[in-house]
Structure 1
């Protein structure tokens, strides 16, 4: 026994027996009075100014400086933040399954890797820029096909839903239509500036117009172009935020979209020069994988969250 071990217990128990905890090294302290300590009585836990360690010995993490005005403004109205606000669903109480989101990202990365391997192996594209351009064109065609498919799907829903639910369906679909209009308008900024001569400096006839022209050109490349690229990715990932209508609508539209794209590839033959077995695998790989992920997502929504396809009709 000692002052450091008043109970006489070893620092560890080799026989795994249960012992009561030893008493603390300090006797219980009385509670301070209700009005606090008198001014001449120091607090027992107050730092001693005469001590060489007047402050706690543990390090205090530095507090980062607040961001500047430009940083806060860019985070608020920057192209990436704006694209997230426009193309991500934001309905209150929406269900987001993280496992499904992770699987969608994995499938997208595998698909991109397969396309890069196919382009490098069979020389479909002459360079990396051509492969990236082909991928962007395919994504843009998918967006246009989705812009045509979505109004048809909404029309079918309105025809099948009860009359009392049609107004709510239209209200929820308004943000989806707004996202489509925003993306199409952003893409058509480039041909509009070229056709009007704005990009060539046609309107820079005086110093003021020159400043406005070059500022507009800079904003086109610094803001509009990142908004387009980020918006296309988010629009395809969230299927134009159709989860604002119902959580089961994105997988249904995604499965419809990939089979439509497979039908388009069947007539356009984008894999010319590729052996027929490999061509069949790549033409069916995307729709089959997306369909499998979509059916799995519908299963998880029904089993884990109680959301079924019948909820689209709001009956």
Structure 2
């Protein structure tokens, strides 16, 4: 005798606090700002997993080399160096993306340029949002806000502390998640074309390698180890990028040629 079907109870609706956090919380806001959202977005779980593995392996290699050869005097110095490196990556990518979009505009047919600019609006918006959020901190210092310059009466004192707390509990997490998502999704350039993230990731990693080469990065590391370490990141990222491009073409019929509309 078959068992009667018993429907699973529906999950409880989120409370007002959870709904508010999903709407204006820093992490959820960062996800909306820095994740691509085009309607025909290719979501391949295997590609996403490979990108995360590559990122974790690269980070572990950097920490290992830095600690083993005492590039940083402490783990805090290593962490600070990685944060600084991530921010440099964001800045370099912020300069590279407009150049790439400019080249695409020059190669694209005039009738398709407006659509290209429309698709590029969200990546540029993500760049602006991250830089504006980071600029909040020097702005509060330069204006004397954190020193209590505007706390001239009890009401302004309370307002000053409320704003400082909001900066710490909202802006700081937004920046932290934003940098990670911006690098993982390459400033949501999949909104322009699915092949843009791997292409820009390969370009960025070789640009950072040249910067490290000319700035004398990891000067305390022996020559052969330094060469292997400096070439390991760009070669691994390039290998993953080429594999991703091949997977997009083989499984989804998407090629680099589709970026330019003639």
Q: Under TM normalisation by the shorter chain, which class is it? A: over 0.9
In 1, the alpha carbon distance for the partners of 2:98 and 2:110 equals 18
Counterpart pick for 2:97 among 147, 150, 166:
150
Q: Which runs of 5+ in 2 are unaligned?
A: none
Aligned length: 261
SS in 2 for 1:125: coil
The answer to whether the aligner puts 1:98 opposite 2:45 as a matched pair is: yes
The structure that has the greater radius of gyration is 1
Counterpart pick for 2:21 among 71, 74, 86:
74
Counterpart pick for 2:145 among 182, 198, 221:
198
SS in 1 for 2:242: helix
In 1, the alpha carbon distance for the partners of 2:9 and 2:165 equals 37
Map 1:22-37; keep pairs closer than 5 Å. Answer: none
> Higher helix share goes to which structure?
2
Counterpart pick for 2:181 among 212, 220, 234:
234
CA displacement, residues 111-132 of structure 1 (integer Å, 9 cap, x when unaligned): 1111111122111111221111
Residue equivalent to 1:245: 192
Closer, same or farther: CA 305–273 of 1 in aligned 2, 3 Å: same
TM-score by length of 1: 0.79
SS in 1 for 2:234: helix
Q: Deviation at 1:67?
A: 3.6
Q: Which runs of 5+ in 1 are unaligned?
A: 1-23, 26-55
Closer, same or farther: CA 100–61 of 1 in aligned 2, 3 Å: closer
Q: Deviation at 1:194?
A: 0.8
TM-score by length of 2: 0.95
Q: Over the residues paired in the alignment, what is the CA RMSD in angstroms?
A: 1.9
The answer to whether the aligner puts 1:115 opposite 2:62 as a matched pair is: yes
CA displacement, residues 258-299 of structure 1 (integer Å, 9 cap, x when unaligned): 000000000111201110011001111110000000000000
CA contact (8 A) 1:301 1:308 kept: yes
